[in-house]
């Protein structure tokens, strides 16, 4: 009897899989343990083995196609078995699929036969996968131009991933014959990045996919649209405003600027007022005796109109937008806030910084105290994984760092085992490299908890969005000097507000509150960190 094989969930965060390659075709015999296909998840490409013996009767996802987890991936059964009931009659058995393939093959062969033919000695370099979550890369800078000689180990380009900018070195010797991605442009992983080979080799057909035709067609279509608009514009301009001939666009601009259209001389056909007439209009000074004109003059004063500008999103900015949106709308956030007396922490920091070659910040102290508190409250150091909660064995704290493109979160591995000076040195090093885009991808992976500190900007309190797969993030405000009540007396004290954003699926309110109580104890009595 035929068995339906569904798209497997190969990672905790996987929602759909892409078939990178089929190792079996419809009609092939399949044994238990045979590699059926290579499945690309949101993290990596993995081999998918069959657990069933039989004949591959149906393929639910084409090679290169994607499908949701648990959707039909394939059907295996006895040769010639009727599976129309399993496919809903939408697909025929093996024969039908083979016919479809045979029909499609000539098309693909005639469409781009040269795309698969690589001349001897030519090497096609594809966009590398530089992080587990990378789906496309952006060429931040080319270090070699077309025609340059390239040696093995030479820096070819700087690739911007979803996490950082990394140098990409050539593994081949030759001449750079083609750049598949322009500087500042992006392309999917495994698409053509560059072609290297002997000087003078014709590689115009290599890596010239169907997309090239589409990309050349689109500008043509756009130009056609622009031309059409330009041709139809005069027809639209045939409308008039009362007794004044004026185009609709010019009329709107005149209203926005407060320009009296009766005082504008038109330069268009038959004296028609057009856009440039309003842009170049200079009001004529009226005699002072004319009261109405004098009162209207302030409205008619010309001014420089600001122009909207656009900045293309960087790869980092796109990923930040995607991840934070996913986190905010998938994890049920709630927030806990606490105010901490920092008087003893201030004294402790002064004593520590009085030691030779030692200088730590309040942020370093908060990171250390947080790591020790997480050791006592492991539930906060956990992740949601759909049908289970993963309790992380290591305490790896991610520290949010602002960069021109947005925000990155370098990770301090095994933070609970680090000293103040180690934390301080690591944070300074990674923060400086983050701002110069020098962080490596593995330095921003594996966090189990995150901290965001805006205290240095004078922000007293704020809330953050959880950096998934973490289940909580701590927001740190500024230390404020203000009156406080101590032993029944009003005295001057130094306080700091902390806000803990929690994923309610993992961290209950009481659990989050207990964690903050422990953290408060460590910060208000720094010596307890030594116990």
- Residues carrying an active site annotation: 504, 508
Give every CB contact of residue 407 below 8 A, 6+ residues apart in sequence: 320, 400, 401
Burial class (CB in 10 A: 0-12, 13-18, 19+), 457: exposed
Answer for the pair 166, 129: CB distance below 8 angstroms, yes or no: no
C-alpha to C-alpha distance for 446 and 412, rounded to whole angstroms: 9
C-alpha to C-alpha distance for 286 and 290, rounded to whole angstroms: 7
C-alpha to C-alpha distance for 183 and 521, rounded to whole angstroms: 52
Closest CA to 251 of 278, 224, 231, 269: 278
Using the 8-state DSSP alphabet, how is residue 309 labeled?
Answer: -
Distances (CA, A) of 40 to 10, 80, 347: 9, 30, 54
C-alpha to C-alpha distance for 273 and 173, rounded to whole angstroms: 63
C-alpha to C-alpha distance for 94 and 407, rounded to whole angstroms: 51
C-alpha to C-alpha distance for 514 and 518, rounded to whole angstroms: 6
C-alpha to C-alpha distance for 3 and 15, rounded to whole angstroms: 22
């Amino acid at each position: 009897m035929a068995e339906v094989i569904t798209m497997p969930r190969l990672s905790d965060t996987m929602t759909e899989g892409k078939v990178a390659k089929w190792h079996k075709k419809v009609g092939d015999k399949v044994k238990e343990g045979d590699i059926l296909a290579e499945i690309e998840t949101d993290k990596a490409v993995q081999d998918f083995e069959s657990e069933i013996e039989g004949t591959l009767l149906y393929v639910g996802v084409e090679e290169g196609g994607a499908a949701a987890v648990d959707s039909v991936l394939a059907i295996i059964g006895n040769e010639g078995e009727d599976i129309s009931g399993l496919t809903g009659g939408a697909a025929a058995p093996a024969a039908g699929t083979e016919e479809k393939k045979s029909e499609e093959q000539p098309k693909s062969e005639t469409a781009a036969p040269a795309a698969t033919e690589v001349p001897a000695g030519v090497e096609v370099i594809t966009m590398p996968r530089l992080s587990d979550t990378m789906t496309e890369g952006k060429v931040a800078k080319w270090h070699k131009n077309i025609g340059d000689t390239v040696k093995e180990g030479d820096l070819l380009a700087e690739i911007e991933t979803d996490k950082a900018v990394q140098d990409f070195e050539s593994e081949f010797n030759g001449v750079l014959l083609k750049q598949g991605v322009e500087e500042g442009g992006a392309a999917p992983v495994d698409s053509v990045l560059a072609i290297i080979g002997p000087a003078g080799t014709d590689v115009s057909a290599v890596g010239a996919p169907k997309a090239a035709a589409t990309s050349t067609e689109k500008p043509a279509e756009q130009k056609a649209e622009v031309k059409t608009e330009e041709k139809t514009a005069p027809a639209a301009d045939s409308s008039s405003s009362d007794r004044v001939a004026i185009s609709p666009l010019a009329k709107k601009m005149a209203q926005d600027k407060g320009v009296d259209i009766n005082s504008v001389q038109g330069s268009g056909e038959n004296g028609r007022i057009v856009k440039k007439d309003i842009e170049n209009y200079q009001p004529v000074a009226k005699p002072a005796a004319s009261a109405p004109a004098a009162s209207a003059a302030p409205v008619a004063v010309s001014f420089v109109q600001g122009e909207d500008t656009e900045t293309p999103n960087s790869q980092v900015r796109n990923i930040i937008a995607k991840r934070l949106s996913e986190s905010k709308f998938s994890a049920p956030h709630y927030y806990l806030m606490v105010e901490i007396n920092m008087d003893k922490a201030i004294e402790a920091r002064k004593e520590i910084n009085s030691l030779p070659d030692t200088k730590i910040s309040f942020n370093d102290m908060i990171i250390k105290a947080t790591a020790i508190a997480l050791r006592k409250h492991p539930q906060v150091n956990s992740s949601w994984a759909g049908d289970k909660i993963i309790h992380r064995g290591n305490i790896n704290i991610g520290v949010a760092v602002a960069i021109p493109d947005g925000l990155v979160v370098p990770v301090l591995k095994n933070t609970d085992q680090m000293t103040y000076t180690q934390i301080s040195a690591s944070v300074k090093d990674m923060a400086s490299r983050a701002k110069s885009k020098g962080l490596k991808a593995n330095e921003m992976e594996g966090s189990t908890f995150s901290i965001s500190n805006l205290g240095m900007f004078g922000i007293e309190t704020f809330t953050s969005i959880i950096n998934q797969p973490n289940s909580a993030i701590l927001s740190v405000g500024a230390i404020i000097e203000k009156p406080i009540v101590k032993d029944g007396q009003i005295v001057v004290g130094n306080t700091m507000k902390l806000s803990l954003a929690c994923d309610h699926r993992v961290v209950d309110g009481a659990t989050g509150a207990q964690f903050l109580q422990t953290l408060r104890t460590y910060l208000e009595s720094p010596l307890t960190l030594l116990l």
